[in-house]
């Protein structure tokens, strides 16, 4: 990842570790407490990072005052001792930057109504930009050194902490510009995300949504949150109305939204070409050493296995009792009945049982992280708190933190285990790697989290004898596979197609985007095969998906899910023989090697077909079990 990319991620608010889940809870604002009404044992403790804002400001000032130290190294990075000093300074300040950024972000997220914490967040973003500008000369000067010099540094024991950084320099040699050019690009960091910022501001605040009346006579404003909620309505007429009105709204603004997405695509292509990459795709995956072949093969393999998706959708149609499955039926619950509730303390006990296959050490740390009073976890929703869930562990020498919005249901338990997987990944990585190699690549970020989700499903199924509840568990797991593997693959293919078109000088008009997206919808959901009927209106769904602004991000959900499914099943079947390489290489590996190599040593060769084939076998087996339960 270039320094520009790093700063972009911080400035635009996309969490660097990628361990971020958007979403909400079913709890309404009226039911939420103020933050001061929640017991302190259910809140994270940010004093583990800084006792107060005065301490935070001291670190912030230290970073800003230290930036001038880089000036004396400009144009002089030739001697090993000077290179060592500048890299020590660079990573030491980056460590502090992550720390102040994490503290500011979490302070703000726990109650976004507080202006003082918004100010901290804004200040940290400005410091990040200043850091990027001050250090922009380092890579160009180092990469200008003879290749033999860099190779000697890589093998020099004094540079063992920076060997991966230096290896990447060699790989990036042809993509690093002159010092002046890199500094100029660093100054454009905030402009590079203009398309995303316009999209966020427009859809988050200025896009006008209609009010609709449901069959219950309830009137709701059909914004994004209510669309997500009411698309799951058991009443088909309501689902149809929700889809029609929601996407009709986006269709009205398709040209504006095409301009914002096109601007973001153009910006990413500009940076890729400026840095001399063959394509924006190559540029986006270069840092993690992911070959374009993997991305293209992933799309191909998913397309080959669309019949598995179609089989599940036919089962869903049968369970819903429909003569024809429409696109607005896809989120309808296929199982009904009273679902179990789980207090947070119940969830911690479930986690303890779920994680036993991971061994005593893992379980001990995991339960400490979840236990009320540990300071690791912010459990319950409160007024003003950011929705969804995430983990952040970039601050390195303090335990990871988890933000939850726990709501006493199975989804909350699953989300808790998901974020705990991220936290344990960061915990192990930070304990076993130096700071410069601790921040694991985004490509593997979703593996540890989804791994835990699959352990949870297996544990719940192992003890559940009630057929109705087994249907619920299987149904939710199949829906997760549909939305994570197939839907995100469709997104990946859409992104691949529009970038290829833009790079061939084809304008990304609303009509082009609609046509491209509609073709994929019909292919993935089997419109011509009579699986799901796709109406032309839903061609504009691309305008609703924020991930298309993240520059080839979504495919990592697919590869991460498949790797996690494959590795977790191996651990459940093989025990210690599979657990040890997973912990030693994946969880403890950080960025000590490239992600594909770490996964391969963990037992999952993602360049082979085996993990993908096993994932589809598991998908098929779960469909078969659900089919059998439906017949009874």
- Residues annotated as catalytic are 419
Residue pair 307/443 in contact by the 8 Å Cβ criterion: no
Q: How far is the C-alpha of 110 from the C-alpha of 392, rounded, in Å?
A: 14
- Strands 401-403 and 377-378, bridge-based pairing: parallel
382: helix, coil or strand?
strand
212: enclosing H helix or E strand:
strand 211-213
Nearest CA among 448, 455, 459 for reference residue 391: 448
Number of H helices, E strands in the chain: 27, 6
Residue pair 269/502 in contact by the 8 Å Cβ criterion: yes
Q: How far is the C-alpha of 96 from the C-alpha of 257, rounded, in Å?
A: 38
402: enclosing H helix or E strand:
strand 401-403
Residue pair 495/554 in contact by the 8 Å Cβ criterion: yes
Q: How far is the C-alpha of 67 from the C-alpha of 74, rounded, in Å?
A: 12
Q: Which residues, in sequence order, are CB contacts of 198 under 8 Å at separation 6+?
A: 260, 263
Token pair, residue 237, equals 């007429």
224 bridge partner residues: none
220 bridge partner residues: 212
377: enclosing H helix or E strand:
strand 377-378
Q: How far is the C-alpha of 369 from the C-alpha of 361, rounded, in Å?
A: 13
Angle at 543 between CA 540 and CA 545, to 5 degrees: 120
Residue pair 568/421 in contact by the 8 Å Cβ criterion: no
Q: How far is the C-alpha of 27 from the C-alpha of 382, rounded, in Å?
A: 10
Q: Which residues, in sequence order, are CB contacts of 401 under 8 Å at separation 6+?
A: 44, 46, 102, 106, 376, 377, 378, 391, 392, 393, 423
33: helix, coil or strand?
strand
Q: How far is the C-alpha of 447 from the C-alpha of 466, rounded, in Å?
A: 30
Residue pair 281/499 in contact by the 8 Å Cβ criterion: yes
Report the b/e string of 593-607 with b at 16+ CB within 10 A. Answer: bbbbebbbbbbbbbe
Per-residue DSSP letter, 486: I
Integer angstrom CA distances of residue 169 from 178, 236, 271: 14, 56, 18
Angle at 298 between CA 297 and CA 300, to 5 degrees: 60
Report the b/e string of 532-547 with b at 16+ CB within 10 A. Answer: bebbebbbbbbbbbee
Q: Which residues, in sequence order, are CB contacts of 346 under 8 Å at separation 6+?
A: none
Residue pair 284/437 in contact by the 8 Å Cβ criterion: no
Token pair, residue 87, equals 């890299």
Integer angstrom CA distances of residue 379 from 445, 590, 631: 22, 27, 40
């Amino acid at each position: 990842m270039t320094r520009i990319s790093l700063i972009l991620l911080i400035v635009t608010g996309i969490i660097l570790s990628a361990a971020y889940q958007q979403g909400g809870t079913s709890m309404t604002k009226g039911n939420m407490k103020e933050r001061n009404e929640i017991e302190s044992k259910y809140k994270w403790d940010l004093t583990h990072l800084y006792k107060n804002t005065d301490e935070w400001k001291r670190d912030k000032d230290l970073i800003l005052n230290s930036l001038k130290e880089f000036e004396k190294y400009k144009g002089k990075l030739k001697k090993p001792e000077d290179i060592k000093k500048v890299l020590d300074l660079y990573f030491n300040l980056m460590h502090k930057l992550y720390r102040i950024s994490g503290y500011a972000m979490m302070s703000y997220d726990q109650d976004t109504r507080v202006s003082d914490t918004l100010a901290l967040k804004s200040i940290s973003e400005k410091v990040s930009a200043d850091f990027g500008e001050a250090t922009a000369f380092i890579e160009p000067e180092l990469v200008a050194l003879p290749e033999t010099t860099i190779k000697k540094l890589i093998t020099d024991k004094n540079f063992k902490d920076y060997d991966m950084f230096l290896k990447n320099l060699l790989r990036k040699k042809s993509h690093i510009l002159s010092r002046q050019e890199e500094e100029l690009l660093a100054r454009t960091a905030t402009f590079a995300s203009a398309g995303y910022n316009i999209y966020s501001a427009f859809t988050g605040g200025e896009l006008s949504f209609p009010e609709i009346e449901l069959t219950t006579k309830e009137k709701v404003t059909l914004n994004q949150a209510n669309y997500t909620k009411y698309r799951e309505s058991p009443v088909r007429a309501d689902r149809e109305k929700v889809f029609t009105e929601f996407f009709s709204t986006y269709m009205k603004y398709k040209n504006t939204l095409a301009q914002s997405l096109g601007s973001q695509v153009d910006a990413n292509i500009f940076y890729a070409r400026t840095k001399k990459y063959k394509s924006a795709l190559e540029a986006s995956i270069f840092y993690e050493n992911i070959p374009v072949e993997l991305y293209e093969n992933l799309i191909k393999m998913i397309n080959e296995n669309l019949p598995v998706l179609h089989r599940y959708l036919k089962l869903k149609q049968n369970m819903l009792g429909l003569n024809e499955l429409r696109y607005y039926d896809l989120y309808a619950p296929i199982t009904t009945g009273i679902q179990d509730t789980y207090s947070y303390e119940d969830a911690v006990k479930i986690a303890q049982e779920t994680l036993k296959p991971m061994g005593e050490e893992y379980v001990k740390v995991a339960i400490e992280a979840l236990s009320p009073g540990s300071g690791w976890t912010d459990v319950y929703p409160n007024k003003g708190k950011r929705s969804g869930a995430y983990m952040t562990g970039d601050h390195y020498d303090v335990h990871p933190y988890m933000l939850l919005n726990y709501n006493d249901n199975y989804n909350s338990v699953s989300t808790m285990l998901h974020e705990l997987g991220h936290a344990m990944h960061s915990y192990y990585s930070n304990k076993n790697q130096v700071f410069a190699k601790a921040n694991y690549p985004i490509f593997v970020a979703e593996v540890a989290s989804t791994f835990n989700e699959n352990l949870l499903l297996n544990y719940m199924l192992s003890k559940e004898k009630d057929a109705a509840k087994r249907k619920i568990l299987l149904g939710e797991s199949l829906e997760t596979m549909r939305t994570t593997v197939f839907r995100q693959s469709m997104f990946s293919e859409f992104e691949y197609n529009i970038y290829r078109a833009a790079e061939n000088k084809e304008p990304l008009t609303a009509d082009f985007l609609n046509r491209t997206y509609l073709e994929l919808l019909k292919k993935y959901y089997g419109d011509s095969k009579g699986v799901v009927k796709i109406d032309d209106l839903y061609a504009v769904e691309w305008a609703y998906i924020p991930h298309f602004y993240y520059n080839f991000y979504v495919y990592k959900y697919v590869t991460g899910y498949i790797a996690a499914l494959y590795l977790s099943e191996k651990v459940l079947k093989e025990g210690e023989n599979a657990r040890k390489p997973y912990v030693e290489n994946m969880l403890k590996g950080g960025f000590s090697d490239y992600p594909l190599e770490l996964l391969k040593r963990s037992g999952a060769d993602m360049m082979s077909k085996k993990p993908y084939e096993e994932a589809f076998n598991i998908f098929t087996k779960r469909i078969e079990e659900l089919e059998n339960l439906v017949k009874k």
